[in-house]
Amino acid sequence: MDKVRIGGAGTLVKIAYRNILRNRRRTLFCISAAAIAVFFTIFMQAWMVGMMDNMEEVVRVFETGHVSVVSSQYEAEKEYYPVWFPVANGLPVAELERLALGLDGVKAVLPRITAYATLQDSTVKHAFLWGVKVREELALNTFNLTRLDDGLMEGRYPEPDANECAIGFRMAEKAGLRVGDRLPLKTVSAQFSDKMWSPVITGIFQFDYVKYDEDAIIVDFIRLQRLLVLGEGTQQLFIHGENASRSRFIAAQIKDLLGEENVVRDWRDNYFVLLMRQSMMIFTVVYLVFLIVASFLIVNTVVMIIHERIKEIGMMGSLGMTRAEIVRVFFFEAVFLSILGSFAGCVVGALTTLAFSFFPLELTFFTGGGLKEFPMSGTFALAFDPAILLQGFVFGVVITSICSLFPSLKSAFVEPVEALRN
């Protein structure tokens, strides 16, 4: 009996390794259970991280920058895009840019104006004017996150201080507009007066963001600033840092600089960003459900292994192996299977997430239409991250091994005589 234990753990590991090759159907079943659990864990995590990254980038590009600044009066009525409440009581944009660029970590300062407009002689009746410094914006931001370009489908963006505009392809389709057409519209200035304007359409864009593709009219910032009688001020100020992770530090500096009469927000305070991050807890529960289901498969498989090999357990006991050694043999066998299964799941998960990181998924396929009020591209790519793969592999091995431990203990209580008799 002692001779069986001379080899120690090494001998038990060899026995366990040889056992996994004895019944290929049983081995494949157990490996598949672990692989499925790991694959779905990796896939769903890559899905959620990809969606989260996409939404956060859209928020930073279109909605907030790294830090956004508006007046407190504007914040109270922001759903109307009021232009009569400029940042810092109308302090000139040039001065705002000079002050902000002097702060630690600030990379760029972009003034913007957003105002509602009523379209005339058009099947589309309402839109919003988006006044930006196009060249500065394009040097810093990628408007189309799917194609990773400036988003233009046709023509060009409006020139500085020109009587020109660019519209989204959805608006162009609905209104039957083309490059070269004029777009008569009316808006309200900072003096509460109606302003009639008829810019020439010089470009049609596709940002893959429904809100802008359908409702936005891009015009030059200086032109819109003059049209709305904002003087040298701006309605909104977007600040970009060297690193998005330092946005809170930059926001604190801006707040100290401009005072309490202005509202300074970090991009992570955006409602949808907070909502999505809180929703991650729900998806964590979904991950656990997949793991629990796979764990039951593994437990049932190990129980089946023990039942099928009851005589073998009796032989082990009659040859002098202790209960602890029998448990360790089955446990080592389960560990081998979990490693193989987790590795297989990681390989399939890596190939799948890598493929969908280059070929984005259509969000409209899952929602049945565009999410106009949700800041997210119409397509998004899965996140291919070695950290996710490593986490899935380690998680699969640990969970599978733990789940295999309990049925393995059952083998220790099988009496050799009863086992051989059965």
Q: What is the pLDDT of residues 159-176, one digit of tens each?
A: 999 999 999 999 999 999
Of 334, 80, 98, 114, the C-alpha closest to 221 is 114
Residue 1: its pLDDT value, please?
A: 41
| pLDDT at residue 5, as a whole number | 47
Average pLDDT over residues 293-299: 68
- Reported pTM: 0.80
Return the SS3 of 179: coil
* Rounded-to-integer distance, Cα 170 and Cα 118, Å: 17
- pLDDT value of position 35: 86
Read off the tokens for 67: 């830090």
Compute the distance between CA of residue 90 and CA of residue 104 in angstroms, rounded to an integer. Answer: 24
Give the pLDDT band (50/70/90) at residue 148. Answer: confident
What's the CA gap between 135 and 145, in Å, rounded? 18
Other CB atoms within 10 A of residue 135 CB: 12
- For residue range 363-380, what is the model confidence (pLDDT) as tens digits? 765 555 556 667 878 788
Q: What is the distance, to the nearest Å, from the Cα of residue 283 to the centroid of all Cα atoms in its chain?
A: 13
pLDDT in tens, 96-120: 999 999 999 999 999 999 999 999 8
Mean pLDDT over the full length of the chain? 84
- Dist CA 394 CA 399 (whole Å): 8
